[in-house]
Amino acid sequence: MKDLRTAFSSLAKLIAARIRELESGAKPKPFGKLVPAKSFAGVRAALPGVLLTESEGVVFAAALATHLQPHLFDEAIAGALTKAADYPRIGGVRGKDSRLFLPTGETVMFLLGALEIDERLEVLSLFDEEHAFARKGVLRLEKPRGNESWASGRLELGEDVVDQIMGLPTRRPRLGPDFPAQRLSTKLDWDDLVLEKQTAAEVREIESWIRHGDTLLVDWELERFIKPGYRALFYGPSGTGKTLTASLLGKQTGRDVYRIDLSLVVSKYIGETEKNLSRIFAKAEDKNWILFFDEADALFGKRTGVKDSHDRYANQETSYLLQRVETFGGLVILASNLRTNIDEAFLRRFQSVIHFPKPNAEERQRIWSRMLPRQASLSERVNLTQLCQRHELTGANIANVLQYASLQSLERGDHVLEARDIELAIAREYEKEGRLG
């Protein structure tokens, strides 16, 4: 904490020195001529795995001060001004509730003495999507209002940055526009999941990578030949266990699984889809999360021939996603009904492409047996073996059938799953899918 106090003290002195330059009309000096650049070393070293330059340390200190020393800017500015004046170059906005000064991109320009076009462009590059600030989820510029300049956006720290610096447990992000993904969890275990033998073996390979991937890359020195991270495609009909498998991989290995909400990711506005994706990957960086893209066709579908600007930008989004998936150090799982819907460029980079077929009769009987509630019994009129041979159902179909038949038994109060209820529920499942019974 002493190092942070030193950095904040230097930040206040830098603000005062810049205001003196403003009032005198002097040309801004490099910030290292006004305060010792090394005084920001504590801030630069505050985040493990993120190496900041001296100027980046100043920017990070400015953003961090609004949380740890929120009155710093107001007090430093008020203490330095010798006359009543309005200096737009200082930038900043007032907090809606706190009414405190909140630094913006223009404030960063002011602190670093960036007046010329090339200097301003250099500062703005700190907020590029490929910069460590964005990639690591440390810091970004808020989207400006209306036609305001990009630099008018407010500095926004990553949600868990302050927690990290204070040594507090990292809070799980909540689904919303800033984080378009929702955590998956399950009360089930591997024994509850019925998969075809080959599918189960390939899923176990992913679990093996989760447990031993770091050893493979670092201790066995294969990082020279193998890219970090693991990429897998789960494909097959709906209800065959793709989402449950992703959830169980997380549960059994102690990793959080986040399902990406594509309705919050895909945008009709140029460049917004990439920004939304960037936020997800930045948040997930270095956290050992599993990212699960359900119905992935919308993002990972085949690129088209360029007929208009829409096609061109859609292909750019796919190319950006390809690059981000390839450089992500964690596990990315895509789910699709059809393998052929996914762009071949993605498939070539995947370690696993796993088919989840509909269960056969023997597998269906195992699913029925696992799902049947202990509190109920099957009617004598139900021959489970024949039922499983006659009706091609997925695990999700069977769960729906059991729910309906169980509710009917509870309504009657007999706790018996009747054949007529089961057959009716199966017919409804067929009807939903446009199948004939």
Predicted confidence band at 313 (pLDDT cuts at 50, 70, 90)?
Answer: low
Closest CA to 368 of 390, 355, 354, 385: 385
Per-residue confidence (pLDDT) for residue 202, from 0 to 100: 97
Question: With 70 as the cut, is the pLDDT of residue 305 above it?
Answer: no
214-248 per-position pLDDT tens digit? 898 888 988 888 888 999 999 999 999 999 999 99
- pLDDT at position 331: 95
The stretch 280-285 carries a mean pLDDT of 82
Q: Whole-model pTM? A: 0.71
What's the confidence (pLDDT) of residue 227?
85
Predicted confidence (pLDDT) at residue 128 exceeds the cutoff of 70: yes
DSSP state of 286: T
Weakest-pLDDT range from 123-127, 340-344, 416-420: 340-344
Is the pLDDT at 271 greater than 80? The verdict is no
**pLDDT confidence of 363, banded at 50, 70, 90?**
very high
- Percent of the chain, pLDDT > 90? 54
Residue 307: pLDDT band by 50, 70, 90 thresholds? low
**Tokens standing for residue 162:** 């302050």
**Which long-range contacts (C-beta less than 8 Å, at least 24 apart) are formed by 82-90?**
82/23, 83/23, 85/23, 87/19, 87/22, 89/22, 90/18, 90/19, 90/22
Nearest-angstrom CA–CA distance, 55 and 360: 62
Q: Give the domains, in start order, of the chain with CATH numbers.
A: 2-166 (no CATH), 181-355 (3.40.50.300), 361-432 (1.10.8.60)
Per-residue pLDDT of 326-335, as tens digits, reads: 888 899 999 9
**pLDDT value of position 149:** 85
User: At 365, which amino acid appears?
Assistant: Q
**pLDDT digit string, tens, across residues 36-84:** 988 888 887 777 667 788 899 999 999 999 999 999 999 999 999 888 7
pLDDT of residue 136: 79
Highest mean pLDDT among 191-200, 273-282, 325-334: 191-200
Across the chain, how many H-helices and E-strands are there?
Answer: 20, 12
Q: Given a cut of 60, is residue 368 above it in pLDDT?
A: yes
pLDDT tens digits along 140-189: 888 887 778 888 899 998 877 877 777 777 778 777 777 888 999 999 99
Give the mean pLDDT of the chain.
88
